[in-house]
Every structure is written in C-alpha cells, then in structure tokens.
Structure 1
Amino acid sequence: MANRGLSLRTLVFVGGATLMLVPAIVTATLYTAALEQRGEELQVEKLTTRGELSANLLARRLYGVWMDLARMADLIDPTDPANAREHIQFLSRLDGRYSWLGIADLEGKVLAARDGMLEGASVAQRPWFRRGLDAPAAVDVHEAQLLASLLPVSAEPYRFVDLAAPLRLGGSVVGVIGAHLNWKWVQEGMAALQAPGIDVLLLSRDRTVLFGPTDLVNKRLSVGSALAASRVTRAFSSERWPDGKDYFTVIVPSIGFADLPSFGWSLLIRQNADDAMSSTRELIRLFWIILGAGAVVALALLLCAAQWLRTPLRRLSESAQAILLDPGARPPHQETRFEEAARLSDALAHMQSKLMGRRSNS
C-alpha cells in the first residue's frame, strides 16, 4: 500500500500559515526596528535641543556679567584709584555675584578692590592677571588662594571662576580689571537647567565633571562622548557608563555667546536609554501583542477554511472507495460548496450509473 501524503487540510493550513505569517513577521520586524530607530532619533533631537538651549542660557548668564566688567573697564581710570574704588564698590553692592572685583597695575599690584580686599597685594602670578594683560580672559573654577583668609569663614572652601580684561589708557594697556564670580552662582544656574530623568553635566577642558550627578562631580570622564567633547566635535552616542547603565549622550562642545571669553567648558546631556525608550518599546510590545492576536484569529479562520475545503473532498473519496467495492453502494453526496467538488460529484455519480448498467447487462 502506497504511503499516504499529507491531508488537504494540513497542506492548506500549513501552506496558508506559511504564506501569511512569514511575510507578516518579516515586515513587522523591519517596521519595529525602524520604529525603534526613529524613537532613538527623536530622543537625540530632544537632548540636542535641550543641550543647545542650556548652553545658550548658561552663556547668556555669564555674558551679562562679562558685559558689566567690560563696561567697567571702559569707565575706570587706573590713574585715579579713589574713583575706581567708588565704581567697584557700587557694582559690587549692586550685584552679589562678585566675590571680589578689583584692578591691578602692570606689575600686578592691586590698586583698588571691593571692600579694600587685597589692595596693595601682588596678583602678578594669578592666571587671570597674566592672561588679562594680553586679552579678555576667562579662568576655570578654582579654590580661593589669596582671598581664602579674607573672606568670611565658610563650611566649604570658596571656589571662583574668573573674568579679566585689559585696562587701556590712550590705546596702551596700563593694568587689568579682574572679577571672581562665586562658583555657587554658576551651580545655581546649572541646577535650573536640570530636568527629570535628564542629566546636564558641565565638563572642564580636561573632561572633569564640574557639575552633575554627585557620584561624578570632580571626576574625569573616560567615556567616548567625553573624549569627543575634548576634541571639540559635536557627537551623539549610546554607551555604557561606569554605573553599568546605557545612556543616550549628546555633546555641546562649547559654551559661548558673542564676545564672551571661553572657559573651555562643554555640556554633556545624557538620559538613561531604558527610560528614554520606554514609551517606544511599550508601543512596540503592544504592536506585537496585537499582531499575535490577529495571527491567532487568522490561523483559526484558516483552519476553518481548510476544514471547509476538506469536507466535500473527503466525502467524495469515501464514496469513490465504496463504489469501487460495490457499484450499488449509496450514491455520492451532491456537493455544491465549490465548482470543482460539484463537477467531481457529478462525474462520480455518472460513473456509478454506468457501472450499475453494465452489471445489469451482464
């Protein structure tokens, strides 16, 4: 007896399921991959926009102070220390951001300063003075040196960022005006830029975290995005950080506005990748659930269709076997479900009629 092949129902069900599910799964996989990629792009765009706005806001805050200092440099006559002291005292009392404000001559001797602090002392070795002799200058955050013993006692060391500009008289440089800005003022500005789930880190020129999560402050970053910041190139990456988590990271390589001297700072904006993509991945998960539910319904309908096709053919095959054994067997069922089954049913009935006629004649 010949080996029997697969039933029509099995062939229809398996073949139909293959033709239906394979393209659907491939298409769905490509679609969800594109959806996740687009979700990442949207997150990057959001972080980039926040980074650019944050850098602009921070730069404008610093620029406001710089403009005051630049105007003061134009107003002050270094040959008249008393008048210079009045201007300095007025601006210092008007603006609490200055921890110290003063002018020094070409030798570095302080001629006039806020509250008389450091007057007569030499600042010739201070970076702000040396740089300020040549051009407008900005000096990165540092702890108080000469002022440490003159300022009120504080639980934490005083930290400043410095701005300086040349003092000119008759077109020649005759001194330097310098300002120490309280670092807490910069920290307050950075704190205002933070958002839930998004970290805005302020990096120094050597990739040290000046402001950011407490576990990273005063540490030098070695992740790829921080290295990109030190090369002054805008970059985006999804990378593993020392805490073992993956973050989307965007770099704003410089913080500047108009003619504000550069501190060498850059902004790094990061967001936990799982948190950033949670809504997109939830959408993808829901998509697969709906697709799976639709596939189950489709397979159930396909099974019903396969059974619907199989039933008339099964009845006709049983009738054919019965007629083969006994031409006088029950006539085949009159099939009407589809044309081919109907024609086969009629042909089988006609064949049975002929076999019955031959038996009668014999």
Structure 2
Amino acid sequence: MTSPGQPNGSAAAHRSAKGGFFPGRVRSRAIGLRVMVAVTVAVLVLGSTLVKGLVVGNGAADALAKEIGNSMTGLAQSLVRQLDLTMWARANQIAALSRIDALKDPTVAQSTIDELKRRDPTIAWIGMTNAGGRVVAASNGLLLGADISSRPVHQEGMKGLFVGDVHQAVALKGKVPYLQGETPKFVDVSAPLQKADGSTVGVLAAHYSWEWAHISIRQLTEPLADRKGLTLFILSADGTVLIGPESAVGKPLPVPTLSGKLRDGWSSEVWPDGITYVTGVAHGKGLHDYAGLGWTVVARQPADVVFAETNRLRMTIIGSGTLLALLFSVIGWFAAGRIARPLGAIADAAERIGKGGPGAAIPDVGGAAEIRRLSVALREMVDGLTNKDAALMRLEDIAYEDRLTALPNRRYFEQYVEASTGAGGGSAMVMYIDLDGFKPVNDRLGHDAGDAVLRQIGGRLASIFRDDDVVARLGGDEFAAVLPRRAGRPAPDTDELATRIIAAVNEPVSFNGEKIRVGCSIGIASWPEDDRDMATVMRHADAALYKAKRDGRNRSVRWMRTMVGG
C-alpha cells in the first residue's frame, strides 16, 4: 500500500504494474568479438592459402607438364637424331670404301675388312661378294664361300647404296657375340663395287649390330636416372617396337596414335595399363643424303610421377597456410582481447545500469582512442538520461498523485485497475468510500478546514490497508480502494475492514482548536465473482455505496444481485 508522503511510490507501483504485461528481454547467445576476429582471420588466411595453393598448384602443374612434355619430346628427338646420325655415318663409310679400287681385289679387301672389324666393335660382320653373290672375303671368315645372292643386302647393293632396316640374321646366330638364346638383330648397309667402266663386280656389305642402338639409349638416359618410370621405345617404319619393354618388343605400339603420322610433340595419353603418361614423340627424318629408315622414338613418364612434385608443392603451401592461419588467429585473439575487454566492461556496466544496480556507471576505460571516446560519450549520455529519467519520474509521480492527500489520484487508480486485471487472472475486492457530513464542514468552516479533514482522512486510510492494496482519492470527498487477493494468503475480511475504516474516519479532526467530525459510507463489490468485467464491478460498488447512504449512512453495504438497480 502506498502511504502519504511517498510520492514516488505510486509512480513506481504504476510502472511495475504496467511492466508486468511486457515480455522479458531475452539475451541472445552471440559470438564474442575475440572469437569472431580469430575465426575471421583464420578463415581469411586459410581461404587465401587454399586459393593460392589451387592457383599456384594448377599453374605449376601446367608448367611442369609442359616442361616434362617438352623434355620428353627433346629426349626422343635427341635419340632419333643420334640414330639417324649413326646410320648416316655408317652408310657414308661403306659408300666411301666401295669406291676404293684396291678393295676389288679379295686379298686386299680381306685385310681391310679385318682392320675395320677390329676398329669398329659395332660391326658384327663385314664381307665382299662377287657379282654372283658368293662371299669372297669376310670378317673372321664367317660365311666365306657362302651364296647370299638371294639376300637383300646383295641384291639391293648391286643396284646402289642400300640401308636395310633391323632384321634377324639367322645365319649368324651363335656365331657372333650376342645375348644368350637370342637371334642377333642387325642393320644392313651395302654398296656396289664398280669398275672404271661402271660395271658392277660385287658388293661390299656390312651387318651392324643392333646393340649400338641400346648403347645410344643408355648414353642419353644415364643423366636422367632420377626420372622415375622413364621408358623409351624405338619403332620401325611399320610401327613395330624394336626397342622397349620386353613385353612390347616385336609388337605394334599399344597406343597407335603415337606411332602414326604425327608431328613431333608431346601429349598426355592413357596407355593400356590404365596409367596416364606424359609422352614425347619424334620421327626420324634422315640426314643430308641419307633418307632414313622412318624410325620413331617415343619417350614416356607416368603423369603421377611428373605431378608428384606439384602435389608436394600444393600440400606445402596448404600446410604452411594452415600454420599461418593458426598463428594469425592466435594473434587476432590476443589483439581482439585488447578491444573486447574495455568493451566488455562498458557492456557489463550498461547491463547493471539497465537493471537499476546501485552505483552503476560507465567506466573510464583505456585502450584504443575510439573506445575511450565511446566510454566518455556513453558516460555523459547515461548521466544525461539519468537526470532526465529522474525528472520524468517526478513528473510521472505528480501526474498520478493527489496533491492534497499524497494518495494516488483517479487517473492512477483507473490505469492500475486496468493493468492489474486486464490479463483476466486473479481476483480483487473493490471498495468505494464517500465521506458523510463533509459538505457542512466546507460551508461552515471553509475550504481550509475541509482540506485539513481530507488530508487526515487520507493518512488514516493509507495506514489501514495492506502494502499491496491501492487506495486513491477519486476527487472531492470520494475515495476508492482495490484489494487484490494473493495466492497462498487468506482473503481480507471486508466487514471487519469496513468497520475499521468507519471507526477511523469517525475519529475527530482538530482544526484551529475545534473538533470536526465526519462519517463515511462504503460500497463493496467483488471481481470476478460479481462480474468478469471490472468496469461493471466498479459500478456495482458505486451502487452499493449509494444504498449505504440511503440506508442511513456511516455504514458499509456489500453489493448483491437482488439489490435494486443492480
């Protein structure tokens, strides 16, 4: 119950009554500044690292593929050029020897042949035939006296300089150094032996061991020993593998597109084993007047081996970027802490101020200049708002307070009743109180006496009701009270309370040495028992009040449905 002399109490009670009908403020679970900064920095650094790793990795992969592809092509071109150069030199050697007249003598030819065989280990066999195709001079005496007139090396040699492709020499198997169990393979070179008149008297022929091709491959690939999976193929003009993996020798290349009429270059090809290889191709084109045998060289290396270094580079970039992201996020965490701590202090103070905590104030924090400016501005704003709020509270108290009795006025009473019963829950008693014999006091003693009576009666009423009851002066000599019923405690005995009110009002009031006596009539109604509409209940209480006056005044009447006018 709001008592006289406590003007702020009525306004506070009114604000509390109104506040009960507004939902409470829900504090959302938000991400802290430190976490936000740390996560943002980590995401930015890691994101940029991933993009960099992707871009650099892909760029490096493309560049590396191009570099390896070009190197494969260059290796193939070097080997095919070496093969052409070697065959050109051998063809020139035989062609030059065939021009020497002395070699037409078998005896001279034999000594020359033996010397050539001794000096050139790549010559497996060299010999001279007569016009009929019989061997008349031969290295190590092999095939001496044999008839090779049906062999291309003799037939083609009789016509002019001849270079024969790789073939097996069955007649020499086991007679020349070669891999055990294998039939030796040779490249034939032959040229006609002619007299001064141009007639052909025989052929100078040589079988060059195919081993020199293997030697050439070893010489080219030894510096590339660190290239894992590097494989070389030498193909004949018809695409048959002359040199390569054992399973491929003597068969067409398993990737026909590489052995066809393609220009020198490189590509990534999937081979029959399901592996993608970076593959370089080069075709023999001969040299000078040597047209060449149409050989093709293919060099390949597994793509996963080629790109392994790129993948390592990409993983290194991503790994270092992840470490940097963690490092910078930790730095961001501590850096944000210097901002978050003073902001947190300001936020905590603002919450305490919002809850009305005693002595709460915006602290004067340090840190960044902007945060310091913020704390100063907020402190000045809160001070200004506090002063304004105090002024507004006082104005609100004045607006809701009866200035004569310090009781709540009609405006407050009506709004309180509306707020406290608007939700439809609970129950309350309503009492209308009207003074009896008050008008003669004003008429006989004046308004000052009447005001003194009202002030003292207001104080007496305020002392009778409970703390949570509301008693107000509605105007003139009319008062009203609302007695809410609370769960867990007994309802007030209105008859006993009315008797106490009447007794208190009947006590004389002293004014300028004169004893002034007045009485009161009371009308009582109950909400929601008498009606669920509070306005109707208040009218019922007013009707009961006037019945009390008609029944003789200075008494209380409880409204009943049988009441006349009810």
The equivalent residue for 1:182 is 209
Once residues 240 and 311 of structure 1 are traced to their aligned partners in structure 2, the CA distance between those partners, rounded to angstroms, is: 62
1:123 counterpart residue number:
149
Aligned mates of 2:158, 2:262 — CA distance in 1: 27
The DSSP-based 3-state class of the residue aligned with 2:376 is: helix
1:241 and 1:71 map into 2 onto residues whose CA distance is 45
Distance in 1 between residues matched to 2:197 and 2:44, nearest whole Å: 85
Which stretch shifts more, 315-324 or 141-150?
A: 141-150
Match of 2:245 in 1: 213
The separation in 2 between residues aligned to 1:7 and 1:116, in whole angstroms, is 95
**For residue 230 of structure 1, what is the aligned residue in structure 2?**
260
Please, which moves more after superposition, 53-62 or 352-361? 352-361
Q: Which runs of 4+ in 1 moved over 6 A?
A: 149-154
How far residue 75 of structure 1 moved from its aligned partner, in angstroms, is: 1.0
Equivalences for residues 160-309 of structure 1 within 5 A: 160-170=186-196, 172=198, 174=200, 176-195=203-222, 196=225, 197=228, 198-223=230-255, 227-254=257-284, 256-309=286-339
The change in CA–CA distance for 1:15 and 1:351 in structure 2 (over 3 A counts) is same
**C-alpha distance in structure 1 between counterparts of 2:314 and 2:385, whole Å:** 64
Whole-angstrom CA distance in 2 between matches of 1:308 and 1:38: 46
Residues 342 and 365 of structure 2 are in contact (CA less than 8 Å); yes or no, is this contact kept in structure 1?
yes
Mapped partners of 2:174, 2:375: distance in 1:
112
Contact between 1:136 and 1:164, CA under 8 Å: does it hold in 2? yes
Secondary structure at the aligned position of 1:194 is classed as helix
Instruction: Report how many aligned residue pairs link the two structures.
Output: 358
| Cα pair distance change 1:17/1:190, threshold 3 Å | closer
- Aligned-partner Cα distance in 2 for 1:291–1:271: 31
- 1:288: Cα distance to partner? 1.9
State the partner residue of 2:165: 140
Report deviation, 1:34.
1.1
Is residue 133–residue 148 contact of structure 2 (8 Å, CA) maintained in 1? yes
Deviation, 1:120, is 6.3
Q: For 1:65 and 1:7, locate their aligned partners in 2 and report how far apart those are by CA, in whole Å.
A: 84
Q: Is the 8 A contact 2:278 2:303 kept in 1?
A: yes
* 1:71 aligned partner: 96
- The higher radius of gyration belongs to 2
SS state at 2:362 partner: coil
Whether the aligned pair in 1 keeps the contact of 2:127 and 2:136 (CA below 8 Å) is yes
Hey, what's the Cα distance between the residues in 2 that align with 1:345 and 1:333?
7
The 8 Å contact of residues 109 and 119 in structure 1, kept in 2 or not, is answered as: no
Deviation per residue, 1:168-187 (Å, 9 max, x gap): 44584625432212233443
Q: Is the 2:45–2:324 contact (alpha carbons within 8 Å) kept by the matching residues of 1?
A: no
Aligned to 1:62: 87
- Whether contact under 8 Å (1:137, 1:261) holds in the other structure is no
| CA distance in 2 between partners of 1:326 and 1:149 (Å) | 113
Structure 1: gaps of 5 or more residues: none
8 A Cα contact 2:129 2:136, kept in partner: yes
CA contact (8 A) 2:234 2:297 kept: yes
Instruction: State the distance in 2 between where 1:73 and 1:326 align.
Output: 121
Using a 3 Å threshold, how does the CA distance of structure 1 residues 173 and 233 change in structure 2: closer, same or farther? Answer: farther
* Post-superposition offset of 1:20: 4.3
Q: Of 356, 360, 377, which residue of structure 2 is paired with 1:326?
A: 356
Is contact 1:102-1:110 (8 Å) kept? no
Equivalent residue of 1:312, what SS? helix
Say which is worse superposed, 324-333 or 13-22, in terms of deviation: 13-22
Residues 234, 251 of structure 1: 8 Å contact kept: yes
In structure 1, what is the Cα distance between the partners aligned to 2:292 and 2:134? 25
Gap runs ≥5 in structure 2: 1-24, 395-566
After TM superposition, the structure 1 stretch with the greater mean CA deviation from structure 2, 326-335 or 14-23, is 14-23
Matched, 1:34 2:69: no
Deviations 1:135-155 (A, max 9, x none): 533222212245569879974
Q: Which 10-residue stretch deviates more, 88-97 or 77-86?
A: 77-86
- Closer, same or farther: CA 117–19 of 1 in aligned 2, 3 Å: closer
The one-letter code matched in structure 1 to 2:217 is M
RMSD (Å) for aligned C-alpha atoms: 3.6
- Alpha-carbon distance in 2 for matches of 1:15, 1:3: 24
Deviates more, 1:179-188 or 1:128-137: 128-137
Q: Identify if the C-alpha distance between structure 1 residues 141 and 356 changes in structure 2 by more than 3 Å, giving closer, same or farther.
A: closer
Residue 210 of structure 1, CA deviation? 1.6
Counterpart position of 1:51: 76
Q: Does 1:101 align with 2:126?
A: yes
Note closer, same or farther for the CA distance 1:120–1:217 as it changes in structure 2 (3 Å cut): closer
Which stretch has the larger CA shift, 49-58 or 145-154? 145-154
Alpha-carbon offset, residue 112 of structure 1: 3.0
120 and 317 in structure 1: CA distance in 2 versus 1, 3 angstrom threshold = closer
Change in Cα spacing, 1:221 to 1:311, as seen in structure 2 (3 Å) is same
Distance 2:211 2:120 in 1: 14
Write the letter of the residue equivalent to 2:365.
E
CA distance in 2, matches of 1:359, 1:281: 68
Q: Secondary structure at the match of 2:325?
A: helix
In structure 2, give the amino acid aligned to 1:74: R
Question: Partners in 1 of 2:355 and 2:304 — Cα distance?
Answer: 71
Q: Which moved more, 1:127-136 or 1:200-209?
A: 127-136
- Tell me the distance in 2 between the aligned counterparts of 1:291 and 1:307: 24
Matches within 5 A, 1:148-159: 155-159=181-185
Cα distance, 1:24–1:74 mapped onto 2, change above 3 Å: same
